[in-house]
Amino acid sequence: QVQLQESGPGLVKPSETLSLTCTVSGGNITRGSFYWSWIRQTAEKELEWIGRIYTTGSANYNPSLKSRVTISRDTSKNQFSLILTSVTAADTAVYYCARDRFQGGYYFDYWGQGALVTVSS
Amino acid sequence: DIQMTQSPTSLSASVGDRVTITCRASQNIRNYLNWYQQRPGKAPKLLIYGASSLQSGAPSRFSGSGSGTDFTLTISSLQPEDFTTFYCQQSYSTPFTFGPGTKVDIK
């Protein structure tokens, strides 16, 4: 059973950097045909895909956030991370990490419980 | 980006009702369409992938159909635990995009 768990600060000041980590258990982030994604959900319940990292370490991002986002990984800890720079109140959301599986198309089959990040001074 | 719309935005129904939710894509996405269910305070949970394939462990009362731009999620007999919110999501191309959600509540 794959499990994902987000961790990181719940409060970030405007213009600063948001940093979250997703710890994966029950599966190796360097094996298989999987991507590992970050998705966020605003208070209005809108879901937005942020980006993902492949088992090889290559990443791709939502163009709407690309200039501010970096997704990386620590294979020794089986973790992948999200960095979002220059945050504003619009970045306040619940941030989810998820496994992105390909089987006749990509889909998110395992999700973390979510981490609420509030951007406020 | 591919825009996803859902209708209705919300609906009221009773236990045992047959419910249909529609999702429309702004361009042809073939069958690269997934459905998720989200309970309050929880992460979305995959129900249907590839437009019509039932995710392992998802109840058989859920079914999906459609291709191209128009898709439906059907709940054959609504159960108390189904009064939640449902989202569609396209995986035809990045950036992956979600519909705005359909909230099902008790009539």
Which of A45, A105, A113 is closest, CB to CB, to B49?
A: A105
Instruction: Tell if the CB–CB gap between B91 and A107 is shorter than 8 Å.
Output: yes
Q: pLDDT tens digits, chain B, 107 residues: what are they?
A: 999 999 999 999 999 999 999 999 999 999 999 999 999 999 999 999 999 999 999 999 999 999 999 999 999 999 999 999 999 999 999 999 999 999 999 88
Q: Is the peptide bond before A14 cis (omega within 30 degrees of 0)?
A: no
CB-based contact B104:B11 (threshold 8 Å): yes
Q: Which residues of A touch B96 (CB under 8 A)?
A: 49, 106
Look up residue A94 and give its two tokens. 């619940």
In which residue are the tokens 């009362």 written? Answer: B61
Q: How far is CA B41 from CA A90, A94, B44, in A?
A: 20, 10, 10
Under 8 Å CB pairs connecting chains A and B tally to: 65
Question: How is the beta sheet containing B19-25 ordered, strand by strand?
Answer: B4-7, B19-25, B70-75, B62-67
**Does residue A113 sit at the B interface (CB-CB below 8 Å)?**
yes
Beta pairing, strands B102-106 & B10-13: parallel
* DSSP code per residue over B23-67: EEESS--TT-EEEEEE-TTS--EEEEETTTEEPTTS-TTEEEEEE
Which pLDDT does position A103 carry in this prediction? 84
For residues A33, B92, B86 and A54, what is the CA-based torsion angle, rounded to 10 degrees? 30
Three-class DSSP labels, A58-87? CEEECCCCCCCEEEEEECCCCEEEEEECCC
The model's pLDDT over A19-76, given as tens digits with 9 standing for 90+, comes to: 999 999 999 999 988 999 999 999 999 999 999 999 999 999 999 999 999 999 999 9
Mark yes or no for CB contact B42/A113 under 8 Å.
yes
Chain B stretch 63-92, residues whose beta carbon is closer than 8 A to a beta carbon of chain A: 85, 87, 89, 91-92
Contacts with A, B 12-31, CB within 8 Å? 31
One-letter amino acid identity for B73? L
Report the distance separating Cα B78 and Cα A36, nearest Å: 33
Which among B39, B58, B41 has a CA at the least distance from the CA of B49?
B58
